[in-house]
Chain A
Amino acid sequence: MNKFFERRYVVTGIFLVIMITLLGRLYYIQIVDDRYTIYANSNVRRVQIQYPSRGPILDRNGKILVQNVPIYDILVNPKDVKPFDTLKFCKLIGIDKEGFEKRMVKAIKYSPNKESIFEKQLPYELYAAFQERLPEFPGFDVLPRTVRTYPDSTAAQFLGFIGEVQDRDIKRSNGYYKSGDYIGVTGVEKFYEQVLRGQRGVKVQMVDSRGIPKGSFANGALDTLPRAGERLTSSLDIDLQKLGEKLMKNKLGSIVAIEPSSGEILCYVSSPTYDPNLMVGRERGNNAAKLYNDPYNPFFIRPIQAYYAPGSSFKPLSALIAIQEGVITPQTTYYCPGYYVAGNRRVPCFHHEVHGEVNLAKAVAESCNGYFDMVFEKLINRNGAKKTDTSFNYWRNNVAKFGLGSRLGLDMPSEGRGNLPKASYYDKVYHKGGWRSSTVISLGIGQGELLATPLQLANIEATIANRGFYYKPHLIKAIGDKQVIKHEYNVKNYVGVDSQYFKPVIDGMQNVVEYGTARASKIPGIIMCGKTGTAQKAVGIDNSVFVAFAPRENPKIAIAVVVEDAGQGGTWAAPIASFIVEQYLRKSISQRPSGITPDYYMNANLLPDLNISLQNMLKERRRDSIRAVRADSIRKVKNDSIKKAAQLKTANNNKSGGLSGLLTSRRTGK
């Protein structure tokens, strides 16, 4: 004992307090604070997404349109790389030395300890050779993946393609997609993305501090298996599609064929087209750039995006509405002197042909403009000239029931509306009360501001074939193994014309093919009812349009064909349509009395000369685009042209731009 004996308590006290402080802190971080458990878990847990295989797409007969094939990504882990024969390596996978170094630097930058993708999408042929030599290249590994492949290289615009997700996709998906994932970019791949992509699985792994996997987390309790994407059965007939694409080769235009009894689209041709396989694999980038720069714009989905004046193909619809409204009867006749006088204007018949005394059926068969101008005037003037606008809107609504001027709701992205002007539009252009039926007379024969997509045209034919209703047109007829069919595709959409009124119109359409403007396209033994259209444009050669359905009784196919810059409807569109129809109904094409053969059409090149097209384009910007309006007063013309030019400009800005953009908007027929 000494005199500082009591100091032992001070020392002991200090020691105790500090030790208890340690315990307090431990109590806090171990018991109170739960964050550390989360951190510890996120340290060791690596959630690996197990990608399901994307659903294949079949044609209506079960033939494969798209499926998956294995390709191989080469992975590298820089940590394990030891010196090796780089030259041989480069040769095996088809890259050069510079490319090798660039990839290596990128991999090291990503992580010197973790695996990353060295080269993407090695095709099987290269993979086989590389795989044999793999042991010579330590640190490299191969990861099999799948990509889309298109065995028949067909229906590109229908199928669309997949691509890596963009930032906005990632944002919109609420975290579902991660950078590097694939997503449908266009076509069916986009529209049915959620069905096709399937359900992802996850595998939760444990990793150590360097990211090296150390087995499954909690014995796989959190793991889920991926579920493959659903199989889609499309309504397309692959043989029909291939024939259509062949017939449309070297032409601009579109074919849409619909099964009237279901709304299923049988054929969906957009020309020019491209091989969808180009949008897959290592050369995808280069190929895509080439396709984007193609002035004929193969990515433009003409069946739903191109706007064409229906021209005379509109006449059956016009007639139907007139009969339903009671302004004419099938027996109403009109004397055609080769033109029609509307107000102070003379609207000529095609080639100034004098049709003489025509009734409805004959007017349809011979495509008498005069008759239908008369019909149109009767409809628009039914309540007197002062009520032009209300009568016009009434007419417009009747036309709209056939699906014009609005989207039909096809199961594809970026469907266009076409154009069906309202009275208010003309009020703006000509100020209120400043226009008469004669001003807009060209609408009566499917010209003027009236614009439709090939899909809309085909849908009108399906409606006529069904005598008064249509099923919503669609490209995917069934989803998955259970062949689920969307309910909306079983609903009849009535267009407001009684079925009894169809007969005279259909008679006329039959005559079009029997002895009328499309007589060269008559198919022996099949009664096809159709209507040619020679849709005038302000400049350049007319678009060749043909719409039809067959056979007359119990129709199996309704079709619309548009060939741009091709001239008369009977010359190009009708024969092409007849081959498609016959192929579909007979699975073969017979000898035609007229002597036409598919080969001739397949080999014809109707692509417009780009230089001329461009000049026309520029001319058009300065001119009024509607020939019929030209006779109107100069002031009106001026107003109109300024308006048009402005519209055209915005249209161009909205489209893909550049030369192809110019061409595109010109083709819409304005």
Chain B
Amino acid sequence: MSINNQRSFFFNVDWLTVLLYLALCTIGWFNIHAAVFDEKHPSIIDASTNYGKQFIYINVSIVVAIVILLLESRFLTALAPAFYGITVLLLILVLVVGRNVGGNQAWINIGGGFRLQPSEFAKFSTCLLLARYLSSVNIKVTELKSFLIAAAIIGFPMLLIMLQPDTGSTLVFCSLIFVLYREGLSPYFLVISGLLIVLFVVSLLYNPLYVVLTLVIIAALIIFLFRKHRQLIFTMLVGLAISVTFIFCVKFIYSHVLKPHQTERINILLGITTDLRGKGYNVNQSKIAIGSGKLWGKGYLHGTQTKYAFVPEQSTDFIFCTVGEEWGFAGSVVVIGLYLFLILRVIYLAERQRSPFSRIYGYGVASVLFFHVVINIGMTIGIVPVIGIPLPFISYGGSSLLSFTILLFILVKLDSNRMGIV
């Protein structure tokens, strides 16, 4: 490889994405500093503290990012199944030798006080293999066989992670439905998924009988209005039948499939139960932290909720509280803006790829990022149930930062090479 090639290679890197990435990492680092501030170790680079450690993780991640940029693109495509295989092996391994933290058997000790979370790495390896499979010649998502294989690629790690059981990380893979949609999956899947979520919530909030009655009336109205479209009538009737069945299944899912702490979280979210001292404590305190930030926030290291540890898990899953409390609505807008900008940029990068592999992978990155951001911030402000997944680049944690870095920089690498042949 000549020096000339090297130069052009760095020239092709999408610096905007890199800048957004660095901005988010830095914001995360400072907010972790505030969240777990220790008066005995005030320095932000003191390695005995979590903010010092995060600084190390950021540096390691940058090194890893550079390494990825130096790799051959072909290498990534070729090794996609290998990455996937290793991840699956690790996911199985973690079930055997893993360390149980907070009820999830998600961690493998790798010595030196560091731990590895295989489910974090499953995200990019699944995206890679999915991209590899869907970009193969003659594969169309619209065909049932291909769809099932694609679904299996996504579903297998999901199953293993569910066994840990880490519900949050499992659900992340659902976001890949956007990838499938972009590649041709029928929009009905999106609509039906959305409908099912709405039905789930509605039938928990109201008496299922009334919900069914309402649905029947709506269906009857639609059928009456479009009575000349036979096809539509049929679809409506099938849809109605499925909906009604689903509604009656909700109670069953609720009491048999979901775990008690999960139903409790949903109950709290929907306001069916209030338990501000027990199960609902976390979200309530989180809302108080964010809500009390007002427009400009209380200032760096001056958030009372943050400083006096009212929100548990504040450096990891609830890191957004620190943003909301100390930087206010202004800070929240900046952070969400950065995410939105990054995600849209990722979609833009994906769309400008010549190779389907890169495009599909790009959509995977955007979907995973989007899901993490929405669910994480949503739960801190009490609009989605508490699901323990980190805020990308900002939450404290080496595994998560590293895996998001790899996830993103593989795309940056692919993009920098978009003119070449993959």
Contacts and interface: CB of A to CB of B under 8 A. Distances in A.
Query: Does A associate with B in a complex?
Result: yes
Interface of A: 2-5, 7-8, 10-12, 14-16, 18-19, 21-23, 25-27, 29-31, 33, 35-37, 39-41, 43-44, 206-210, 214
Contact of A4 (B184, B307, B383): B184
Nearest to B183: A4
Nearest to A208: B308
Given A40-B289, A43-B308, A208-B307, 16 more contacts: A8-B182, A12-B344, A15-B366, A22-B383, A25-B381, A26-B324, A26-B332, A26-B336, A36-B288, A36-B292, A37-B291, A40-B291, A43-B304, A44-B305, A209-B285, A209-B310
A210 B309 CA distance: 8
Given A22-B336, A22-B381, A39-B288, A30 B305 contact: no
A11 B178 contact: yes
Contacts of B329: 26-27, 30-31
B293 interface: yes
B291 A4 contact: no
B339 to A, nearest CB: 7
Contacts of A27: 329
A214 B187 CA distance: 56
B79 interface: no
A208 B309 CA distance: 6
A40 to B, nearest CB: 4
B290 A29 contact: yes
Contact of B182 (A11, A16, A22, A40): A11
A18 B197 CA distance: 15
B291 A36 contact: yes
17 contacts: A5-B351, A10-B187, A11-B178, A12-B347, A15-B343, A18-B374, A19-B374, A26-B329, A30-B324, A33-B291, A36-B288, A36-B289, A41-B304, A43-B305, A206-B308, A208-B309, A209-B285
B377 interface: yes
B216 to A, nearest CB: 29
Interface class of chain A by DSSP: helix
Nearest to B297: A30
Interface in B241-262: none
A23 B381 CA distance: 10
Contact of B295 (A19, A29, A30, A41): A30
B200 interface: no
Nearest to B350: A8
Contacts of B290: 26, 29-30, 36
Contacts of B347: 8, 11-12, 15
A427 B373 CA distance: 92
Interface in B167-205: 178, 181-184, 187, 190
B81 interface: no
Interface in B280-309: 285, 287-295, 304-305, 307-309
B333 interface: yes
B318 interface: no
A131 B47 CA distance: 42
A13 to B, nearest CB: 11
B377 to A, nearest CB: 5
- Going nearest first, the 3 A-B pairs with the smallest beta carbon separation are A36-B291, A40-B292, A208-B308
Contacts of B295: 30-31
Given A15-B340, A19-B336, A22-B374, A37 B304 contact: no
